[in-house]
Structure 1
Amino acid sequence: MDIVSETEYVPDHLGGTSFAAFGSMVKILDALGNQDALSIFIYVEKGMTSSKHAIQELGLTQKRFYSRLKELIDVGLIEKNEEGYQYTTLGRVFSKIGYSLLDVLENKDQFELLEKLRDSSSLTSSDVNKITSVVSKGSADVSGIFNMIFLSEKQESVEAISSYGLAVDKLVEEIMGSEKSIFLASRYIDSKVIDAQLKASKRGVLARVLMAKEHLEDKVNKLQLLLSPGLMLSILEFFNDPKLDEFMRDGNIPFSFCIIDGERCFFELPSFGGNDFTIAFFVVDKTIADKFTNMFSVLWESAEKKEVPRVFQMLKKIS
C-alpha cells in the first residue's frame, strides 16, 4: 500500500508543508510504529556490524529482522556501509526526537499536573506533593515553602504566569519599582532583566544575582544578539568593581526565583525533561519571602567565589 498516495490532506496550520514531505513523515512513523522495527532502529544507534549478532540479541527471526530492516532503509533512516549498518542524517535526527518523546512519556503525569496548574485555581494535597517532589529534589526547605504557598489561605493570593515573556515583563516591572533589595537566582540570561538590575543597583538597591552554571555558554551566545552597545558598556563597567563577586556568582540553581524588597516573590516550576520555561508564580508575602531569602543565602554561600564570574568572562570575550 502506498501511504504517500493516500495522504491527500495536510492540516491548514501546516500549509507550508508539501504533500511529499507530509507523506514521507507518515511513512517514517508507520515504519517506526512496529515494535520489531523500533528495536532494530534503537539497536543501530551505535552502529551494527553483525546482522547475525543483532538477530540473536533482539530475538528475531531472519525474516522479521530483514523485513523490518529493509523498511527502515527504504524510508531513509538507516543505510549500509562497509562496516555494516548505521543511521543516516535523517535517522540521527529522528533518534533525538525519539529520546525527547521518551522524556515526555516518562513525565506524563507531571505534564498533566502542569495543565491542571494552568487551568485551575486550586490544588489538592496530592498535587502539591507532586510539585514539591519535582522542585525540591529532596530538600525539606523547598517542600516547606511550597506547602506553605499551596496548602493554605495564601494560595488565593498566588498569581500564575503562563509564559516566559509575561514572566520577564512582570519581573522587570517589579525590579524597576524596587527600593531595598533584589535577590535573583536564575536559569536564564535576559537582557531586559539585566538592564533593570543594573539600573536598580545604580539607585542604591542591594542587588545579588546567582546564575546557573548549566549551559551558560549557549545562553551568553544568545544574549549577545540582544544586547545594545549601551547595555554592554554598562555591564562591562562592573569589571572594574573589586567586589564583583558580591554582586554576581555562578551556582547550582534548582529552579529560578527572585525576592524583591523582602516581600515580593517570583518562582518557576521547572520544566519536565528539559530546560524550557513552563510556568511561574508571583506572590506578595513576607513569610514566604523570608523562606526564599534563606534558600538564596544558602545557595549564595555555597556558590564558588571568583574574581570574575564566568558569565562576565564570556561577555567580555564577545564585546
Structure 2
Amino acid sequence: MSRMSEGRTVIVTGAGRGLGRAHALAFAAAGANVVVNDLDVGLDGTIGTEGSAHQIVAEIRAAGGEAIAHGGDVATGAGAASLIAAALETYGRLDTLVNNAGFLRDRMLVNLDEDDWDAVVRVHLKGHFLPLKHAAAHWRAEAKAGRTPVARVVNTSSGAGLLGSLGQANYSAAKAGIVALTLVAAAELTRYGIQVNAIAPAARTRMTEHTFAETMAAPGAGFDSMAPENVSPLVVWLGSAASEGVTGRIFEAEGGRITVMEGWRAGPTADKGARWTPEEAGETALKLLGEAEAPGAVYGA
C-alpha cells in the first residue's frame, strides 16, 4: 500500500458511511492522521444515534492507523470551526480537507417544499463552504507567517450538478453550486499554497442504492464497479503533495474510469456591434444553436 499521505492530517466530512467512509479508510491506509466527521444523520437528514464516526475510528485504529471522531454539524459556523480546531489541537496541523457530507430529499419540482430545498442546499453547499472557509483561514495565516502549506481541498459534486437530475432540483442546484465554489476557491487561494478540486463520483451509497444495483461490472469479473472504494484512490492523490499544480479542476470518477470534466466555455458567438431587434436576436440565437454542441441529457430524462 502506498504511503502517499504519510504524516499528513486529513479531515473527511460525512465519513461515517459510503464514500466518506471509503475515503477515510484509504487516507488512513496511506499514512494520514484522519479526522472522521459525521453527524449521524439518516438519508433525509434526520439525526440518529449510531455513532458511525466512532465506528470508523475504531476500524482505522484496529488496522494500525490513527484517527479521531468529530460529531459536529459542519453546516454551522461553530461546527465547522470546531472541526478545524479538532485537527489542529490533536495533531498540530491540517493538510487536507475532503468535503463529502450530504443527504437527499428528492421531489419533483412542483412537489418540492421550501424546507426540503433549504435542508439539502444547507448541508451540501453551506456544509462545503464553512469548513473550507475555516480551513482556508488557518492556511492563509500559516502562509502569511512564512509557513506556506501544501494544502489540499477535495469537494464533492455530482453528475446531477453538472447535467441536472429529474426529481433532484435541490440536490442538483447545490452540487452545481459546489462546482462554482470550487472554481472561485481555487482562484482565490492558490497564492497561499492551497489547491482546491472537486470530484463528481458515481458509486453505490445510501443516496444511490435505488439507482445502482448491487451488481459487478461483469458476471464473475470480481470487480464491483459501483463500490465507493473505487473513487477513493483519486481523492487520496488529489489530497496529497503528489497532485502539485492541479487546482480548479472537476473529475468524474466511476469504477475504473476517471474523466476530466470540461465545463462552461464560450461556444459559437455573433456580435452585431449594435443593439439587436427581438427578431434578429431570435434568428441569430437559432443560427448559433445550430452550430453548437448539443448539451448532455439530464439524468432520468
TM-score when normalising by structure 1? 0.28
Q: Per residue, is there more helix in 1 or in 2?
A: 1
Higher RCO (CA-CA < 8 Å; seq separation 6+): 2
TM-score when normalising by structure 2? 0.29
- Computing the radius of gyration over CA atoms, which structure comes out larger, 1 or 2? 1
